[in-house]
Amino acid sequence: MLPDRDSEIGRYVRAHQPPDSETLSGFTLVHTGTDALAARLAMIDKAQRSLDLQYYIYRGDVTGGLIAERLLSAADRGVRVRLLLDDIGSGLRDFDVATLNHHPNIQIKLFNPLTLRGQVLKYFSKLGEFGRINYRMHNKLMIVDSQMFITGGRNIGDEYFSLSLMDFQDIDILGMGFISREVARSFDDYWNANESVPVDHMTRRPGDAAEQRLRKRLRDHRTRQDGSAYLAAVRRSPFSRMLRDDRIVWHWGEAQWLSDPPTKADPGHATNQEPILGRKLMNQVRLSKEELLLMSAYFIPGSRGEVFLIDLVRHGVDVRVLTNSLASTDVLAVHSAYASYRKPLLEGGVRLWELRRQAGEQSHTSAILGESQASLHAKAFVFDRERLFVGSVNLDPRSIVLNTEAGVLVHQPELAMELVSLFSHWTTDDFAYELVLNDTGQLRWKAGDEQLHSEPGASRFRRSAAWLLGWLPIEGQL
């Protein structure tokens, strides 16, 4: 579908585009959960022609229900809605997905789906089809009227929008302008791929009665949430206020959409396991002359990556990495694989930080939830404070080799500096421990005057489990 320049979003883009900038793109960063949900809801509400969503995970929880209800409302007013979900990552029931798909303006496809359906049969399918279904679509993307998009680390679920006891620290980037055409083409490539199967080919077709029941359930869900403290906080969020007052700051510059092809998930295709996006990012790393900042929820550099980063340091590049601690990670096996690289990297001059389990002043907008556990979920990199990448890719073998991934590379120093400031904030003593080696070469976790000799905040059971997982030969699958 061609960009709709006469839609409300199209007019907004033209009104904010600088003169003589037809080949430039505008961007703004979003990094709090309430801002991230506010941005998505506003995009859906402003859509007049098309909404394209591509997600690894879509949960049927509070935020997932709110977004689904808005998508249904958009479809009712004539907007074409296309939803592409990874079959294994998605947490929705087949019948609910098929019921939403029943709307004439909504089309839903599942990426690389299991052949056997149903709660029990899916387990047999996972075992029997492992060689195929091991390759997943990890992309996260929403496009409105082919004019504006949001991408980054967030899936659809409460933990990504500050409404869960696990509060993911994440980064999205909102983009518009010239690059939107490239982003829309990328979505179309995935949508039309052989790996993307219409949901009505996978499950029985529901009738009108099922659609009406789903509508009522979503309406009731929205009504219950309308008066909640959480949605009040979303409406009061900085992004919501700036949108209402037309004060969003857009940074304009050149940009490229970087994406793996959908055929990376096809075991019979030449691009299977080809690290296409990884190589493009590596080229940007090689261009770094002074500084490289890496934020990655999962960080497993591998022996080649370890040597490469240390070599950058030897050539004068200040390399800094923020990832999860053992206490804050949501995947113990990843931490067990990462742990063995810490000491060699530190010896080679790479600086490492690990996010605290209680990072900064973790607070929720709902008094019911209380204190949350922080976990880094961001995937963002800054090159020489001139270029930045925000997307779905972690620095681990699964993202680089097995999953399909995507994100945007922006050449814009002011925007890069915003990400530098966020990195600096998230690596302060309140948010993270810096890893150091003492005089005898032992690993220590340092925050201000505090210096710990073992994994901070991690229970004995968690430390033991990570140690045991470290013996398993599974690094290539992580």
Catalytic residues: 138, 140, 145, 377, 379, 384
Contact 390, 172 (CB under 8 A): yes
- C-alpha distances (whole Å) from 358 to each of 9, 323, 364, 438, 466 are 39, 14, 13, 25, 20
- Cβ-based neighbours of 224, under 8 Å, separated by 6 or more: none
Closest CA to 382 of 448, 337, 427: 427
Q: What are the φ/ψ torsions at residue 339 (nearest 5 degrees)?
A: -55, -35
Q: What is the DSSP string of 148-179?
A: EEEEES--BSGGGTT-SSEEEE--EEEEEETH
Q: Which amino acid is at 207?
A: G
Angle between helices 208-226 and 94-101 (to 10 degrees): 100
Q: Is 269 helix (H, G, I), strand (E, B) or coil?
A: coil
Strand partners, 292: 319, 383
**Residue 247, class by beta-carbon neighbours within 10 Å (0-12 exposed, 13-18 middle, 19+ buried)?**
exposed
Bridge partners of 173, per DSSP, are 29, 151
Q: How far apart, in whole angstroms, are the C-alpha atoms of residue 2 and residue 187?
A: 13
Tokens standing for 367?
């008094």
Q: Which amino acid is at 15?
A: A
Nearest-Å Rg of the Cα atoms of the chain is: 22
Burial class (CB in 10 A: 0-12, 13-18, 19+), 15: exposed
Return d(Cα 189, Cα 457) in angstroms, integer. Answer: 44
Q: Where are the beta strands (DSSP E) in 331-395?
A: 351-355, 373-376, 379-383, 387-391
For tokens 């490492």, what's the residue? 352
Instruction: Name the phi and psi angles at 90, rounded to 5.
Output: -60, 135
Structure tokens at 254: 């050149």
8 A C-beta contact, residue 460 and residue 316: no
Other CB atoms closer than 10 Å to residue 24's CB: what's the count? Answer: 18
Burial state string for 137-175 with b = 16 or more CB within 10 A and e = fewer than 16: bbbbbbbbbbbbbbbbbbbbbbbbbbbbeebbbbbbbbb
